[in-house]
């Protein structure tokens, strides 16, 4: 166990010494703070717009007032889902892309393997080290977001809302660990770290954008008529094809779980956090499956490969 922790400790410290990593981390924090501000100002704008129209209708003597928009507190934070999906993924890629290929280029991997370290301990140590970095960043994000959320909205979240936030941060942690695991596998398999990094970027583009957009093309668009405004709008509905395509994208599954946890989906906005987790079990499985498979493949690869 000691070699594992030593490797993990080394990964943890090395991450915070890299200027580019610190730059990405700063961007991540800035965006997560900005998401609270943007979300709350947008919600405030919606409530102002609603109050304006109610005043206008009352002044005109109308009694047919529109229903107040459902604004759940945690929905203010919804933009963080996108930022974790984007910047969080890049952060995880950055942590892992030169884990093996970089050590290979430096020649330090041969040195490590002359020590009494099992090959699988090398992977475990790097995973734990990366996990510690990701975990620390997300815990700081969680605390900062709760404080900002309380300061901006002036309401302290309830136990259910805190539970949902914690569950969301944990899901974000698992998602970023999946990306880290995939990146570690690519790093084992490629000899050049630039090649490994760009390969991982392409994979990220696919799971983060291309697959969800392919799923989008398979959705049905029905037209709905709003009875008050008489506006005809199009509403997308999932089809079997679109759902199956989305199962291949951990990013899409993470976003789905995140949206349900952060009260942006009206069906699950009011229920308990455990019920939400239960409902999202399949999405969680689809999100974790590629990570688990490639983790096992990584263990196998290091046993066989000439590292």
Partner 1 sequence: MNTTWVVAKKEILDARRNKLFIIILAMLLLLTLVSIVLSTYQVRASMDGYNQSISFLKSLGKANFPDPPKLNPLAASKSFVNYIGMLGALLAIVLGNYSVVKERRNGTMRLILSRQIFRDRLLNGKLLGNLILLAAICLGMFVVTMLSVLLVGKITLSGDDIFRLLLFFLMAFLYMVFFLVLSITVAVATDNGNKALLITVIIWLVLSFVFPQIGDTMDMDNQLPGGFFAQMGITKDAQTQILSHFKFYETLRDGIEEASPVKHFERAGFALLNVKPGFDTYSPLGVVAIKWVDLIGLTIPSIILWLIAYMVFHKREDIF
Nearest to 269 by CA among 92, 38, 71: 71
CB-based contact 284:276 (threshold 8 Å): no
Strand ranges (DSSP E) for the chain? 220-225, 232-237
Residues 34 and 11: their CA atoms lie apart, in Å, by 29
Site string for partner 1, 168-197 (x = CB under 8 A): -------------------------xxx-x
- Residue 126 or 193: the one with the smaller Cβ distance to partner 1 is 193
Contacts of 2 (CB under 8 A, 6+ apart): none
Helices and strands of the chain, counted as H and E runs: 14, 2
Candidates 229, 240, 304, 306: give the one binding partner 1 (CB under 8 A): 229
Q: Which helix (H) or strand (E) segment is 126 a member of?
A: helix 119-153
Q: Which is nearer to partner 1, 108 or 226 (CB)?
A: 226
Minimal distance, residue 143 CB to partner 1, in Å: 23
Question: CB under 8 A: which stretch of 107-115, 156-164, 210-218, 254-262 binds partner 1?
Answer: 210-218
| 223 touches partner 1 (CB under 8 A) | yes
Residue 302 φ then ψ, to 5°: -70, -25
Binding status of residue 38 toward partner 1 by CB under 8 A: yes
Q: What is the dihedral of CA 101, 95, 288, 271, to 10 degrees?
A: -170
- Judged by CB under 8 A, the stretch of 156-164, 234-242, 269-277, 289-297 that binds partner 1 is 234-242
- Residue 237, beta-bridge partner list: 220
- Rounded to 10 degrees, the C-alpha dihedral 155/160/165/168 comes to -150
The yes or no reply on residue 151 touching partner 1 (CB under 8 A) is no
Nearest to 144, CA basis, from 19, 264, 31:
31
Contact track, partner 1, 6-25, x by CB under 8 A: --------------x--xx-
Is 63 a binding residue for partner 1 by CB under 8 A? The answer is no
Among 63, 115, 116, 227, binds partner 1 (CB under 8 A): 227
Which is nearer to partner 1, 18 or 305 (by Cβ)? 18
Q: Which is nearer to partner 1, 220 or 275 (CB)?
A: 220
| 97: DSSP letter | T
Told to check if 59 binds partner 1 by CB under 8 A, we report no
Interface residues with partner 1 (CB under 8 A) are 20, 23-24, 27, 31, 34-35, 38-39, 41-42, 45-46, 48-50, 52-53, 56-57, 66-67, 69, 79, 82-83, 86-87, 90, 94, 98, 193-195, 197-199, 201-202, 205, 209-210, 213-214, 216-218, 220-229, 231-236
């Amino acid at each position: 166990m000691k070699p594992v922790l030593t490797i993990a400790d080394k990964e943890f410290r090395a991450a915070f010494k890299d200027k580019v990593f610190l730059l990405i981390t700063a961007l991540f924090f800035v965006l997560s703070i900005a998401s609270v501000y943007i979300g709350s100002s947008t919600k405030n704008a919606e409530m102002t717009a609603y109050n304006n129209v109610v005043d206008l209708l009352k002044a005109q003597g109308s009694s047919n007032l529109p229903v107040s928009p459902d604004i759940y507190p945690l929905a203010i934070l919804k933009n963080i889902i996108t930022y974790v999906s984007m910047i969080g993924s890049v952060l995880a890629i950055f942590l892992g892309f030169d884990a093996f290929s970089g050590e290979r280029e430096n020649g330090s991997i041969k040195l490590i393997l002359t020590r009494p370290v099992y090959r699988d301990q090398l992977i475990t140590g790097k995973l734990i080290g990366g996990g510690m970095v990701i975990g620390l960043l997300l815990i700081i994000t969680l605390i900062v977001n709760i404080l900002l959320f309380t300061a901006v909205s002036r309401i302290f979240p309830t136990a259910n809302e805190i539970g949902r936030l914690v569950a969301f941060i944990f899901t974000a942690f698992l998602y970023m660990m999946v990306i880290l695991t995939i990146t570690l596998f690519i790093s084992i398999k490629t000899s050049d770290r630039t090649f490994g990094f760009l390969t991982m970027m392409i994979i990220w583009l696919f799971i983060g954008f291309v697959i969800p957009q392919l799923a989008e093309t398979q959705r049905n668009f029905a037209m709905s008529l709003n009875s008050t405004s008489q506006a005809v709008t199009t509403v997308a509905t999932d089809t079997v094809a679109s759902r199956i395509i989305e199962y291949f994208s951990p990013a899409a599954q993470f976003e789905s779980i995140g949206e349900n946890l952060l009260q942006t989906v009206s069906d699950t906005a009011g229920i308990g956090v455990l019920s939400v987790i239960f409902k999202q079990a399949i999405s969680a499985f689809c999100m974790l499956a590629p990570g688990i498979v490639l983790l096992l493949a990584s263990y196998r690869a290091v046993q066989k490969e000439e590292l």
